[in-house]
Chain A
């Protein structure tokens, strides 16, 4: 059993006997102290997609899934091929299946991901909580701030934009927390 608040991309829930993959989950505090989770779901049997809003405390049947370690092998158009690190089996996913982590998926990445299987079929991939990426472009430091509190926009190699500390420069390696949409964590240690 999972609550609405616990839903995240890669979770599979059972609705009226059908398994539904959570492709995207956006948590928002609405009013007073209540909260909602807006989800984008895909029916794993029919491929039908829908959006559903859950209250944070709604209770949902989750499906126990198999998980294996996998790495990105290559990208071809909208198809992302991952390789099982133990038996080298190749699995394909399309961009929509990994929408939530897509901003941090890039060619050549070496992160060991968690591949999520439903009835032996790869349905989604989760990135490690912390990943390292190179800053492809950012403006120079405006204020010479070294505290890390002043932020500025930056772009990764795959075009993803995020806020980074003011002292980060082009070519720097940064740590990103991939939870809740992904956010800058700090400069990567050498």
Chain B
């Protein structure tokens, strides 16, 4: 008999919350003996990632997952065998009562944020508060042994390799997005929060001897791109050329298509949590715009990841990549750092694939969650 899982997601801002939980829900259903309900409080945000969502439906099935609208007025429902509160969201009180009322106590997990910091392994899997006799546990995704790992679907890397080895498939995919890559150009995707350092990076790419085709999915960075281009409007499909730089705006795409976009590009600028992990599975060099936190604690998280990620790189490549990431996250001038990254391009490209393989050698997040449940019962 399949275990029932309830995943709760509140969309606080952006698409990271729903991006991660939707991916997890689909993977649990596809690869494990699980029946999954995904409770989401904002179906409109979900619709951006999954256009087939009926935004007014209280319940619906999407790719094997029962998607339920988590409305302010909670309707009584039986609790599942496994309950995941994603990113420390607060479960409805009535649902917690339903958890306590179950004959078989459910496993209650807080699926926390991704961080490369050492403390995550020390906190992963530890118990927390109880609601009556129902114990909550903290579950931390991560990059190191002792954490819950990263979301990675079975066969993802094989699919990615096949795609990257097939220029026709790549061309067809890009054509579907209206992209005809500039001949000989370096293809770069740009998904980021607002960033004061963008103009200097675009200046550097425009002045480069090698052409760059920059693909910008709709998002928060777009006004900065528009400002640099000096145009009043920048809608989906718009193509603007400034010297060696071609800028093209893409629509916000489904998760699967975003993967293919990352796989198609030579370099990916990503943000937050979900796209950050997906870019690592692309096996291509990346630039991470980390979510900004109070007291600049995000900078510690950035450094923790850089420490892990740059291990094994030459001093030159390490300095180049770290410099670029730090400048990007501080909104500083990117030009010199971008030049340094280009000087170390072959090594950084090789390293991105090696890092991907190293991470893929660990159990993925869905598998570790299922194993945690099996160990617990």
Contact = CB atoms under 8 A, between A and B. Distances in A.
B123 interface: yes
Interface string B134-154: 000010000000000000000
A31 B130 CA distance: 22
A49 interface: no
Contacts of B127: 50-53
B87 interface: yes
B113 A31 contact: yes
A26 interface: yes
Given A26-B119, A36-B138, A53-B138, A31 B114 contact: yes
Contacts of B138: 36, 53
Contact of A31 (B87, B128, B295): B87
Contact of B128 (A26, A34, A53): A53
A27 to B, nearest CB: 10
Contacts of B291: 31-32
A96 interface: no
Interface in B151-192: none
Interface in B284-299: 291, 293-295, 297
A129 interface: no
Contact of A38 (B113, B119, B129, B130): B119
A55 interface: yes
B12 interface: yes
Nearest to A56: B88
Contacts, number: 60
Contacts of A33: 293-294
A34 B129 contact: no
B115 interface: yes
Contacts of A31: 87, 112-115, 273, 291, 293
Interface in B99-137: 110, 112-115, 117, 119, 122-123, 126-130
Contact of B12 (A32, A36, A52, A58): A32
B197 to A, nearest CB: 22
Contact of A52 (B87, B88, B113, B126): B126
A30 B128 contact: no
Interface string A21-51: 0000010111111101010000000000011
Interface in B41-78: none
A3 B115 CA distance: 24
Interface in A37-83: 38, 50-55, 58, 60
Contacts of A54: 128-129
A51 B12 CA distance: 30
A28 B113 CA distance: 12
A188 B134 CA distance: 51
A32 B128 contact: no
Contacts of A51: 126-127
Contacts of A55: 88, 110, 128-129
Nearest to A31: B113
Nearest to B14: A32
B123 A58 contact: no
Nearest to B117: A28
B295 A29 contact: yes
Contact of B123 (A16, A36, A50): A36
B297 A34 contact: no
A32 B129 contact: no
A162 to B, nearest CB: 18
Contact of A29 (B114, B126, B293): B293
A112 to B, nearest CB: 33
Contacts of B126: 38, 51-53
Given A32-B87, A34-B88, A53 B293 contact: no
B128 A58 contact: yes
Given A33-B293, A34-B88, A28 B128 contact: no
17 contacts: A16-B130, A26-B119, A29-B294, A29-B295, A30-B112, A30-B113, A31-B112, A31-B115, A31-B291, A32-B113, A33-B293, A33-B294, A34-B112, A38-B126, A54-B128, A55-B88, A60-B129
Interface of A: 15-16, 26, 28-34, 36, 38, 50-55, 58, 60
The 8 nearest A-B residue pairs measured at CB: A31-B113, A29-B297, A53-B126, A53-B138, A34-B88, A53-B123, A30-B113, A53-B128
